[in-house]
Amino acid sequence: MSEITILATLATVHFIALMSPGPDFALVVQNATRYGRQTGLYIALGLSCGILLHSILSLTGVSYLVHQQPTLFALVQIAGGSYLFYLGYGALKATWASWQREPASTTHIDAPQLLLSNKRQAFSRGFATNILNPKALVFFVSLMSSLVPATMSLSGKGAALAILWILSLAWFSFLAWALSTQRMQRKLQAITLYIDGLCGVIFSLIGAGILWQSASSLLI
């Protein structure tokens, strides 16, 4: 198989995975609809940098070594699951607090929520959500080991990393942009609270599932 074919296959598989609903997708949807375009774009940048780091660690074999050590991998799962559960709990808590207010105030973004419009915080949230997700570690280990041969040229491996990063940044940025247009914001304003609640449920369930899996592996 030629390097061009390998890179095309890699790009296709990765792009399909990007469009699949998961923590990264939910994070962009939640924050782009709630806080606007700038926050969504910086979260997209953080997510894509997390994907780039996962790709580098997988390509160099570091992620594979972590995955092969049950105790170490379980600790990674605990850290990632706890973080995702924390995001879910925070979203659900904020949603519940908003439900207690007057209906007219549910579309108002208060001062504490505006903290996430800080560029550094938005980038950090995106980066942490991706890099601490143990499912992402497993995905990239599988992707790199099955599609990128060890004999691939250095330029080919560099192109693979560039493709993964550019596709991730382009997709999540497009998602953030599409959800933050004035027309879309007017449509989403009435259901922002429901989006927050749904994303909170997604984060909580995924985080709890990862924690349960890591606890089970430690007890075996």
Q: Is residue 11 domain-resident?
A: no
Q: Is residue 128 domain-resident?
A: yes
pLDDT at 104: 47
pLDDT per residue as tens digits for the range 2-54: 889 999 999 999 999 998 888 999 999 888 888 888 999 999 999 999 999 99
* Domain count within the chain: 1
Q: Is residue 2 domain-resident?
A: no
Task: Dump the DSSP string for the chain.
Answer: --HHHHHHHHHHHHHHHHHS-SHHHHHHHHHHHHH-HHHHHHHHHHHHHHHHHHHHHHHTTHHHHHHH-HHHHHHHHHHHHHHHHHHHHHHHHHHHHHHTS-GGGTT---HHHHGGGSHHHHHHHHHHHHHT-HHHHHHHHHHHHHHS-TTS-HHHHHHHHHHHHHHHHHHHHHHHHHHTSHHHHHHHGGGHHHHHHHHHHHHHHHHHHHHHHHHHHHH-
pLDDT per residue as tens digits for the range 106-156: 444 443 344 455 788 999 999 999 999 988 988 998 888 888 887 889 999
pLDDT per residue as tens digits for the range 200-212: 888 888 889 888 8
pLDDT at 103: 53
Closest to 167 (Cα-Cα) out of 150, 143, 132: 143
Full residue range of the structural domain in which residue 198 is found: 24-219
Q: Higher pLDDT residue, 133 or 191?
A: 133
Q: Higher pLDDT residue, 216 or 176?
A: 176
Q: Is residue 12 domain-resident?
A: no
Q: Higher pLDDT residue, 94 or 48?
A: 48
CA distance 214 to 107: 38
For the ranges 30-44, 160-174, 176-190, the lowest mean pLDDT is seen at 176-190
Q: Is residue 105 domain-resident?
A: yes
For the ranges 53-62, 131-140, 162-171, 180-189, the lowest mean pLDDT is seen at 180-189
Q: Is residue 15 domain-resident?
A: no
Q: Is residue 10 domain-resident?
A: no
Q: Is residue 211 domain-resident?
A: yes
pLDDT at 51: 96
pTM of the model: 0.82
